[in-house]
Amino acid sequence: MTTPEKLFPELLPPLVPALVFGAVCYVLLRWLARPLLAHLGTGVEYALNVAVIGLLFPEYCWTRTQRRVTGHAAPFAYTYGDAVCSLANAARGCVETVLWALGEAVARLGHRGALWGGAVGAIGLLLWPHLW
C-alpha cells in the first residue's frame, strides 16, 4: 500500500504542469472555445470538400473515358456522383448541428463551469500516467 509520504513526491513534479494545464483549459473554455468552434466549421467544410473531390475524381475520369469511347456515359456514374454528394451534404449538416450545439453550450458556460472544466483537465492530467 502506498503511504502519503511516498505518494506526495510522485505527485509534486507534475503538479505545476497540471495547474498550468488547468489554467489553459479555463481560458480556452471561457474565452476561446466559441470563436475556435466557428472557425472549425469552415475547416471541416474544406476537408469534406477535399474528400468529395477525391471520391468523385475516379468517377470523372471513368465518365470522360466512356464518353470518348462510346459517346455517352455509363448510367451508374451519375448514381455514384449523386450518392457521394448526398453523403457529403448529410455529413455537412451533422457537423454544422454538432458544432452549433457545442457553441451554444460553451456560450452558456460561465466562470464556474470553465473553472470546473479546468479542474477536471488538471486532475485528468495528473491521473493520466497512473491509468495505464
Q: Which residues contact 52 (CB under 8 A, 6 or more apart)?
A: 84, 85, 88
6 pLDDT above the threshold of 70: no
Other CB atoms within 10 Å distance of the CB of residue 55: 16
- Cα gap 76→89, rounded to integer Å: 20
pLDDT, residue 12, reads 65
pLDDT, residue 99, reads 94
85 pLDDT above the threshold of 60: yes
* Alpha helix segments (H runs only) across 28-74: 33-70
- Given the C-alpha cell 468517377, which residue does it identify? 59
Percent of the chain clearing pLDDT 70 (strictly above): 90
pLDDT, residue 1, reads 55
pTM of the prediction? 0.70
